[in-house]
Structure 1
Amino acid sequence: MTESSNKPSIRFAGFTDPWEQRKLGELVIIERGGSPRPIDDYITDETGGLNWVKIGDAPSLGRYITHTAEKIKPSGLNKTRQVYPGDLVLSNSMSFGKPYIMAIEGCIHDGWLLIRDASERFDPKYLCHMLGAPQMLEQYRMLASGSTVNNLNKDLVGNAIVLVPGKHEQKLIGTCLDSLDSLITLHQRKYDKLVVLKKSMLEQMFPQEGESVPKIRFAGFTDPWEQRKLGEIAVRITDMSSDSDLPRVEYEDISANVGILNKNVNHLGHNKSGIAFKPDDILYGKLRPYLHNWLFADFAGVAVGDFWVLRSTGIDPTFLYRIICGKRFDSLANVSAGSKMPRADWSFVGNSEYAVPKQIKEQQTIGSFFSRLDSLITLHQRKLELLKNIKKSLLEQMFV
């Protein structure tokens, strides 16, 4: 390996020395966890219990394991592996494989690998990011090739080649990536809160079953809502198109539950046929309706796959969209035939009644409120995608 290949593509100013190449097992202690069996005999609620670290205790956001849902009796200690704050744990499943830093003492089962930097060769944040970098994951896959089970083990991880900078450079890299993680966590939480708020408002701004007014209502509106069949306020569009000048929308292009496109669909030249839709039409995924694939179109295009394309008649289209996103529509759309490939039944859903404000102004006010909420959700989703892409790029370029 040449000296130039021992340096990352992106580097902090002031660092020029090549990185040192070593096997990971020469630098850290790697041990497999263990499980006392039968485990149910060791689970305890007593105060003196030891934290029992399971995969479910790993945070969805962040890298520190700070608590466990269960504890085990101290009598199981000699049959498991104890970990301490500062130790790293790595799931031995190739489908998971994300490293975490322990913030508490505990014990790990045999689904974890312990990574302990006993010689303090690494900055812990740097080590954690390095173990999850694309270069390491690719090595794991290559070293495991030919194995009947694609799981990580002590020898496989120990034989992985790592290139290591000095401790000061490690600290800068670890701090940089941790700061990016904090930003990602911040925007993820904002996004999640907005999604929960939207779900709550959809439930409270529409009348409950058997009622004619919602719990939350905009000032100035007092009239009771009326019951209307969906087939009276919306028509199904069935006009097919293979126009290559129109963008295509497929199932996987829509973020479930939030009705947001997760990629740019404006790449033209496709020849897939589907249902032509116009701005203000609503796309609803009738296949597996529990997946909640819906979209309010603000452009003309072609819906490819098992979509209903609905167009409002006599009510505000943005309000119709909120009916489609609502709890009642969801429950009725999921009353469908078939178990493996269920599809919503239009003859049933279209003949069912839904609460609708009599005044078009109230419909528009509700629709506008949720549109603004959707814009905020989209904003945070895009920020999240940008930050995640930045991190992915840095992981590829800040490690060798």
Structure 2
Amino acid sequence: MMAEQAKVPAIRFAGFTDPWEQRKFSDIVNVCSGKDYKHLEEGPIPVYGTGGFMTSVDEALSYDRDAVGIGRKGTIDKPYLLKAPFWTVDTLFYAIPKSDMDLEFVHCSFLNVDWKSKDESTGLPSLSKEAINETIALVPSFNEQSRLGDFFYNLDNLITLHQRKYDKLVIFKKSMLEKMFPKDGESVPEIRFAGFTDPWEQRKFGDCFEFLKSNTLSRAGLNDENGTARNVHYGDILIKFGDCLDGERSDLPFITDDTVLPKFAGSILREGDVIFADTAEDEAAGKCVELRKLPKEPTISGLHTIPARPRFFFGTGYLGHYLNSDAYHRQLLPLMQGIKVISVSKAALQDTQVRFPGLSEQAAIGAALSEIDNLITLHQRKLELLQNIKKSLLDKMFV
């Protein structure tokens, strides 16, 4: 009885009561090998690799049978749907469902397997046909497969819709950053709010900012629970934070050692300060965040950061967006040092040029770009929520 109960999912569509049948993947799909495409001519047939679409050619490996693509080498844990006609390269298997199997159900079955655990190499991840064929799946009737397949197909479409909205907003912001700040050799930007006509001012960074002290605490010296002070870590600037940071809502980590704070009494951060990440693995070095709000605990700047305080007032949100724009950041590119790890120094920042309009125009630019940021964050959260819902349902609606 318990064995039968174990062969049904936790969540199920009404009307389906039969236990699911245990089958090998070799019983539900035909796993086929991809091939080199370089001998083919350009054409309308898409060519896919482990990372997705690559190019188009004039022949297909499958003209009329849809399939699930799964990596043979490299990325082996990101199966995705392939709509015929298509060609796959030799590092991507394509698995064609058998006649009694629903394509979308098969795709979900592939998503539910821990393919990395079946890696057969000591170097580049590799997957064999044998490993796929021997994998066990639990399968319901074709009608139940179809219901599940339709459900996840619609959920995927909803995720794709929000992904496209998010991507469009990111591209839109990038475009606005290019147009709302003056290009080299120009005194005003391409796009400007009505009523502003004065030329922008230009000064050296050192005339606009004074540097503050930063600590050298690694993640090991931080915690998420408690402490007398908070810390801004360079890794969070590079990956987690946007152009402006609301410290009240961002869960900044605490400093574990209470004796650290007194050493930085003159460098406790304030609203309006900016912090640069001085180190990265690429040209993201120099990414900056403007502090908009701060938690009630004193906050100091951490490992591999350069904190700076404006010598005069800037409009809220202006510096965070400007200092991350190409208009400013491209000045840093020839000043970066290192090969595997790229770094930017205080001396390099000191001689860069900072451009800005009057306070009212700064505030208008900061507010407009912050509103775009809010929309991006909204769609990102919706997207993450839908992805988490899908992950949970794949677990509960499959055995």
Q: Structure 1 length normalisation: TM-score?
A: 0.82
Aligned partner letter, 1:244: G
Contact 2:275 2:288 in 1 (8 A): yes
CA distance in 2, matches of 1:188, 1:247: 34
CA distance in 1, matches of 2:97, 2:269: 59
Aligned partner letter, 2:356: V
TM-fit CA distance, 1:148: 7.0
CA distance in 1, matches of 2:388, 2:288: 26
Q: Secondary structure at the match of 1:6?
A: coil
CA distance in 2, matches of 1:355, 1:142: 53
Map of 1:165 onto structure 2: 140
Contact 2:32 2:93 in 1 (8 A): yes
Q: Which moved more, 1:300-309 or 1:215-224?
A: 300-309
Q: Secondary structure at the match of 2:193?
A: coil
Contact 2:336 2:342 in 1 (8 A): yes
TM-fit CA distance, 1:195: 1.4
- RMSD of the TM alignment (CA)? 3.1
CA distance in 2, matches of 1:281, 1:363: 16
* Percent identical: 32
CA distance in 2, matches of 1:169, 1:382: 31
Aligned partner letter, 1:127: V
Map of 1:64 onto structure 2: none
Aligned partner letter, 1:266: D
Tell whether 2:20 aligns with 1:19: yes
CA distance in 2, matches of 1:276, 1:190: 39
Contact 1:247 1:265 in 2 (8 A): no
1:54-65 equivalences under 5 Å are 54-55=48-49, 58=52
1:37-52 equivalences under 5 Å are 40=38, 42-45=39-42, 51=45
Distance 1:306 1:149, change over 3 A: closer
Tell whether 2:355 aligns with 1:355: yes
Contact 1:32 1:153 in 2 (8 A): no
Q: Which moved more, 1:100-109 or 1:329-338?
A: 100-109
- In the alignment of these two chains, the number of paired residues is 373
Contact 1:84 1:102 in 2 (8 A): no
CA distance in 1, matches of 2:331, 2:20: 61
CA deviation digits over 1:157-190, x for unaligned, max 9? 0000000112222222222222222222112211
Aligned partner letter, 1:397: K
Distance 1:165 1:303, change over 3 A: farther
Aligned partner letter, 2:227: S
Q: Flag structure 2 segments of 5+ consecutive residues without an equivalent.
A: 262-266
Tell whether 2:89 aligns with 1:96: no
Aligned equivalent of 2:102, options 123, 137, 141: 123
Q: Secondary structure at the match of 1:332?
A: coil
Aligned partner letter, 2:23: R
Q: Secondary structure at the match of 2:12?
A: coil
CA distance in 2, matches of 1:251, 1:179: 40
Contact 1:98 1:132 in 2 (8 A): yes
CA distance in 1, matches of 2:294, 2:210: 18
TM-fit CA distance, 1:385: 1.4
Contact 2:48 2:87 in 1 (8 A): no
Map of 1:62 onto structure 2: none
Contact 2:105 2:146 in 1 (8 A): yes
Map of 2:311 onto structure 1: 313
Contact 1:91 1:98 in 2 (8 A): yes
Q: Secondary structure at the match of 1:277?
A: coil
Contact 1:247 1:266 in 2 (8 A): no
Contact 1:83 1:114 in 2 (8 A): no
CA distance in 2, matches of 1:392, 1:25: 25
Map of 1:238 onto structure 2: 213
CA deviation digits over 1:214-239, x for unaligned, max 9? 11111111111111112222222215
Q: Flag structure 1 segments of 5+ consecutive residues without an equivalent.
A: 60-67
Aligned partner letter, 2:294: F
Map of 1:279 onto structure 2: 271
Map of 2:34 onto structure 1: 33
Tell whether 2:368 aligns with 1:369: yes
Map of 2:264 onto structure 1: none
Distance 1:146 1:110, change over 3 A: closer
Distance 1:396 1:279, change over 3 A: farther
TM-fit CA distance, 1:312: 2.4
Tell whether 2:197 aligns with 1:228: no
